[in-house]
Amino acid sequence: MTLSFLCDFHVHSCLSPCADITMTPKEIASVCVSKGIDWIAITDHNSARNVRVFSDVLNKFGVVVIPGIEVHTLEDVHILAYFAEVEKAEDYSEWLKEEKLSQLSVDPEISGYQLLVDEDDNFTGFEEIWLGQPALLSIAQTLSTIEEYGGVSVMAHIERKMGLLAQLGVIPENCREVPMEISFKRTLDKGLPLENIIHSSDAHSLSMITPTVSIDSKTRSYDEFRSALYSNGRSLRIIWD
Ligand SMILES: [Zn+2]
Ligand SMILES: [Zn+2]
């Protein structure tokens, strides 16, 4: 039987320096429950360190979490990476931190807190490396390394700041196959070479989380997410507000 799931695949946790500190597992779970959201992704800037706890807690509330990261490339372009398993996201995150992020520390009073959290919404520590910096990876290197870790890439909010189109002015040939996250419906009227598109909230605060797509599938598996993403709208429908 095919079901219809309400989803939002771009949500920041309290680990992202620019997100509210109220973006904790139980708070996000209760918003999802109240809005009928079945399936989300946690996508913090350059890190997956909160993904495991969110996955555990939200699962108890009946919400499935895709482990993700929003990678910031050298071109100042944001790319969403989605992984099949928490371990894979954590491995990629660790590699990014060890090999590709400068060891810049952050003054949370100026740049925002990068908080790690436990199952009961207690803050347990904080990420010391500045997550708002570009990783030492080009767009092409980001796409290929995400693939090496078994992940799937989506170009984030292409027509907004830090989006592919906004930063480069064009959609380069080598990115045409990558699904694109569109922020505004009017972007579709511009005749761009867009095939597989998605829309997400990019929520940095609780009130921003909202169903942005619905997916028709049998279950909420990673494989079904991936095929819906590449279905050219057949099993993924955008909910414009
Ligand atoms: Zn972004
Ligand atoms: Zn984001």
- List, for residues 32-55, the tens digit of each pLDDT value: 999 999 999 999 999 999 999 999
How far is ligand 2, taken at its centre, from the CA of residue 16, in Å? 9
Ligand nearest to the CA of 8: 2
Q: What is the CATH number of the domain that holds 70?
A: 3.20.20.140
Q: Which two tokens stand for residue 209?
A: 């989380």
The whole-model pTM stands at: 0.98
Domains: count for the chain: 1
Q: Which residue has the tokens 């480069």?
A: 168
Question: How far from 70 is each of 47, 104, 145, 157, CA to CA, in Å?
Answer: 8, 18, 13, 11
pLDDT tens column, 87-128: 999 999 999 999 999 998 888 888 899 999 999 999 999 999
How far is ligand 2, taken at its centre, from the CA of residue 23, in Å? 13
Ligand nearest to the CA of 69: 2
Q: Could you tell me if 148 and 140 are in contact, meaning their C-beta atoms sit under 8 angstroms apart?
A: no
User: Which structural domain range is residue 219 located in?
Assistant: 3-238
